Amino acid sequence: MKLILLGPPGAGKGTQAKTLVDEYGIPQISTGDILRAAVKEGTEMGLKAKAFMDAGGLVPDEVVIGIVRDRLQHDDCAKGFILDGFPRTVPQADALQSTLSGLQKELDLVISLAVDGEALVERLAGRRACGSCGRGYHVSYEPPKKSDVCDVCGAALVQRADDQEETIRKRLAVYDEQTAPLIAYYRGCGLLRELDGMKPIDEVRTRISDLLKAV
């Protein structure tokens, strides 16, 4: 299964990707996670990316295209992959097509999750993640059993620096301008399937499974 999860920040891409990893045994490729790890490690790429991420803007295309091009060559992508947060611009989508055709692979599906602007702000403002194992939560919609503590490993939950209201609004504007055009792009290739991302997490999960069964 070679899949793109497309949608604005907070649409639920990461949440859904994580369950698909277990169900299909294919990796989640999240450019956001890869970039945050690089920032944490203080690599040259991380240093370059940090200012763009903190400001809620996009990291330059050549940086993220390079990340994904390398990642797709790993052995664990042989059976498929879930792209989460990539592509985010038309040049990234074009680069993905040429990388995949070089590897003699083709995308199966692009699933677009649609969510209202105000709901996105609420989701992102309430998003938390475990500082140790990375498991995601939401203070209201997916709360941990004990507040601010990870159910899985007991470590403290943290909030992302870019999940502050001002930066959230900037990221949503960047999405409308630079990423939303990919909906028409993938509709044009016949790969797009659109889902109502406003539904509860489990219901969205069922709808995605139905689409994947039909491939």
Sheet holding 136-138, edge to edge: 136-138, 127-130, 157-158
Nearer to ligand ADP by C-beta: 104 or 166?
A: 166
How far from 27 is each of 82, 92, 119, CA to CA, in Å? 6, 20, 28
Q: How far apart are CA 88 and CA 210, in angstroms?
A: 25
**Is 53 an interacting residue with respect to ligand ADP (CB under 6 A)?**
yes
CA-based max dimension of the chain: 48
Residue 20 lies near Zn ion (rule: CB under 5 A): no
Nearer to ligand ADP, 26 or 95 (CB): 95
Residues 179, 95: contact at Cβ < 8 Å? Answer: no
| Contact partner, 150, from Zn ion, ligand ADP, none, Cβ < 5-8 Å per class | Zn ion
Q: Does 67 bind Zn ion (CB under 5 A)?
A: no
**DSSP code for 74:** S
Element (H, E) at 93: helix 90-102
Q: What is d(CA 204, CA 197) in angstroms, rounded to the nearest whole number?
A: 6
Nearest CB to Zn ion, comparing residues 79 and 146: 146
CA gap 42, 51 in Å, rounded: 13
With contacts defined by CB under 5 A, name the span among 38-46, 62-70, 77-85, 125-133 that binds Zn ion.
125-133
| Distance of alpha carbon 90 from the chain centroid | 16
Q: Residue 130 binds which one of Zn ion, ligand ADP, none, with CB within 5 to 8 A depending on kind?
A: Zn ion
Q: Out of 59, 72, 130, 208, which residue is the one contacting Zn ion (CB under 5 A)?
A: 130
Q: Which residues are annotated as catalytic?
A: 13, 88, 127, 160, 171
Which residues of the chain form contacts with ligand ADP (CB under 6 A)? 7, 9-15, 31-32, 35, 52-53, 56-59, 64, 85-86, 88, 92, 123, 126-127, 136-138, 141-142, 162, 171, 199-201, 204
Q: What does the binding site for Zn ion look like in residue numbers (CB under 5 A)? A: 130, 132-133, 135, 150, 152-153, 155
